[in-house]
Structure 1
């Protein structure tokens, strides 16, 4: 239910958590084309104030026997991805693949309809990617690389 085109989804074992609607269906489309189905796809949005955070969704996927791996789709602004990386490193037991949008975004400029912004050194793509790498998350450079990385971690 919602704005996602239903034909791109396929039942499977990968959970997806995303701050970006457009990147959700782009990456899910690549997953489905690579014969990787999804257990649940959760859009948490990119607004400064949200109801569900990455950690909330990760906790649900940790307890879900149908989910064998998770994709995190983040973007510039805020620190939710860094918080998720810490949680993954300390408490999460399933493989995670990540993608961070906004690698070339200029500082202090609002981006997108949700107004993602990098303030000072906080919220940069580089910070988020570093946190993911330190937590053992495989990070895709491009959306189409997510499926390849998932196949590697699901072997």
Structure 2
């Protein structure tokens, strides 16, 4: 497989390289493909949706992500504004959050909660909810997310 941006596919040196590669690959009985970016309309849709992606929210190394089951993430949010209007979201699932450092603001339906380091919250994600840092500074927190009805098992005492 060769991959090049669409605008480079017509350049003579690229055409030559691809034809040489195609011949070498197909002579061995292998399949040869040239991949490029998607059609312009699809690419515009991807760019539009990417505006809603907040890569900076996710630690590049999730604490634990496996096939199915509860997934664990560590988030770091920059300082927010205490007057910020939350952008409430809803989705299927269940969430458990634990504040590590800083102050985490959790708006859950009509409840506006402040979680300090060492405090946790557990809730169904179908009601409107939102997370954010307060004006006091950035916040670092853990989140365990599961499918609808799948909850983290919390023990109050050993045993």
Fold-level similarity (TM above 0.5): no
The alignment's TM-score, normalised by the length of structure 1, stands at: 0.29
Give 1 or 2 for the bigger CA radius of gyration. 2
Name the TM-score, length of structure 2 as normaliser: 0.28
Identify the structure with the greater strand proportion: 2
